[in-house]
Amino acid sequence: MENKRKKKILILCPYPYDQAAGQRLKYEQYIERWEKNDFTVILSPYMNNSLWKVAYLRGHYLKKILGVLNGHWQRFRDLFRIKEFDIIYIFHWTTPFGTHLYDFLVRKLSKRLIFDVEDFVTLSKEEGMEVNKILSLLRSKKKTNFLIQNADHVISSSIDLNNFCLNLNKNRKATFISSSVDTDRFLPNNLYTNDKVITLGWTGTFSHLANLEFLKSILLELNNRCIFKLKLITNFNFEIKGVNCDTVFWSKEKEVEDLQDIDIGLYPLEDNAWSLGKSGLKAIQYMAFGIPTVASDIGSSSHIISHLQNGWLVKTEEEWLEALETLIKDPSLRRSLGIEARKTVQKNYSLNAIEHKYLKILNKQINDN
Q: Give DSSP secondary structure letters for 185-231.
A: TS-------SSS-EEEEEE--GGGHHHHHHTHHHHHHHHHH--EEEE
Q: What is the pLDDT of residue 200?
A: 98
Look at the alpha carbons of 20, 25, 27, 33 in this order and tell me if their dihedral is positive or negative.
positive
Q: Pairing between strand 245-249 and 174-176? A: unpaired
Instruction: Report H helices in 96-191.
Output: 101-109, 133-138, 141-150, 159-168
Distance of CA 98 to the CA centre of its chain: 24
Q: Comparing 7-180+351-368 with 198-348, is the CATH topology the same?
A: yes
Look up the CATH number of domain 198-348: 3.40.50.2000
Q: What pLDDT digit, counting tens, does each position of 35-89 carry?
A: 999 999 999 999 999 998 888 778 999 999 999 999 999 999 999 999 999 999 9
Range with the lowest mean pLDDT among 144-148, 270-274, 361-365?
270-274
Q: What is the pLDDT of residue 140?
A: 59
340, amino acid identity: E
CATH architecture of 7-180+351-368: 3-Layer(aba) Sandwich (3.40)
Q: Ranked by mean pLDDT, which of 72-81, 210-219, 276-285 comes out on top? A: 72-81
- For the chain, the domains span 7-180+351-368, 198-348
CA distance 118 to 109: 24
302: number of CA atoms within 13 Å, CB side?
A: 13
Q: What is the pTM of this model?
A: 0.86
Higher pLDDT, 144 or 260: 260
Using DSSP's 3-state secondary structure scheme, residue 249 falls into strand
Judged against a pLDDT cut of 60, whether residue 127 lies above it is answered with no
Q: How many residues does the chain have?
A: 369
Using DSSP's 3-state secondary structure scheme, residue 117 falls into strand
